[in-house]
Amino acid sequence: MGTAGKNGPNAGNVFSPDLACVTVPDSCVTLAGLMDGHGSGFEIRQVDVWGAWLDRWRSYRFEEEWGVEAPVKTVWDEMLHVEAWPGWWQGLESSESSDTLPPDMAGKQYTTRWRGSLPYGLDIRAVLREVTDQAFISADIHGDIEGYCSCCIEKSRRGTRGQFSLQVRTARPWMSLLSPFLKDYFTKNHKCLMVEGMRGFSRYVSEGVAP
């Protein structure tokens, strides 16, 4: 790293002014200007190994597909009737919105409270992001879990086909810390809730009755 001066191998010998970077999985410490007054030094940058590892475990992605023997318009209208969801969705304790959803729904929100087979509940607030009438709806998720969800529907031979996508991370500290150990249980709990929802919704829109 040294450079020899014109008057001998040691004259004018200085460190290169380039900053040398060393990355270690510990706290971030910067050592600057410790060499010879030229402001050069070493920067030790933090790599949050624990945080990255935990973030991977507390992240979830779910994809579901379902079919309903009902016209697209009927399915769409009932999807937007959020106050009625608990009547046919087992595991959904409450669902309400202070906004009148259609029309111009983007930016409006609704809140839900969920309780599956595990002994905990989830409070979620959804803010609608993008809406295409009778085709697509997406929302940002806030609360005990945070992320993004979307649902698209289209006409099928037997009525309506829908696809639901959910990408979230746990926000409650205890859920995040226990995700490496309980992720399979959290996943199973979600899937059971979705099965109940799809079953109840299908019966509700096709037969007009709640389960």
**161 and 94, same domain (yes or no):** yes
Buried b (16+ CB within 10 A) or exposed e, 174-200: ebbebbeebbeebeebbeebbebbbeb
**64 and 11, same domain (yes or no):** no
Taking a C-beta distance cutoff of 8 angstroms, is the pair 112, 97 a contact?
Answer: no
The predicted pLDDT at position 14 comes to 41
d(CA 164, CA 63): 6
Asked whether residue 52 is assigned to any structural domain, the reply reads: no
**38 and 61, same domain (yes or no):** no
**Two tokens at 161?**
């086909």
Asked whether residue 156 is assigned to any structural domain, the reply reads: yes
**86 and 180, same domain (yes or no):** yes
Domain count for the chain: 2
**165 and 198, same domain (yes or no):** yes
**90 and 164, same domain (yes or no):** yes
**66 and 42, same domain (yes or no):** no
Asked whether residue 113 is assigned to any structural domain, the reply reads: yes
pLDDT in tens, the chain (211 residues): 544 444 554 444 443 444 444 444 444 444 444 444 454 555 545 556 777 877 889 999 999 999 999 999 999 999 989 999 999 999 999 999 887 666 577 788 999 999 998 889 999 999 999 999 999 999 999 999 999 999 999 999 989 999 999 999 999 999 999 999 999 999 999 999 999 999 999 989 877 655 5
Asked whether residue 24 is assigned to any structural domain, the reply reads: yes
**61 and 32, same domain (yes or no):** no
For 28, the domain range is 1-47
Asked whether residue 117 is assigned to any structural domain, the reply reads: yes
**67 and 40, same domain (yes or no):** no
Asked whether residue 100 is assigned to any structural domain, the reply reads: yes
**203 and 101, same domain (yes or no):** yes
The predicted pLDDT at position 5 comes to 46
Taking a C-beta distance cutoff of 8 angstroms, is the pair 62, 191 a contact?
Answer: yes
**36 and 83, same domain (yes or no):** no
The predicted pLDDT at position 98 comes to 80
CATH number of 62's domain: 3.30.530.20
**26 and 72, same domain (yes or no):** no
C-alpha separations of 139 from 68, 105, 129 in Å: 22, 10, 5
The predicted pLDDT at position 2 comes to 47
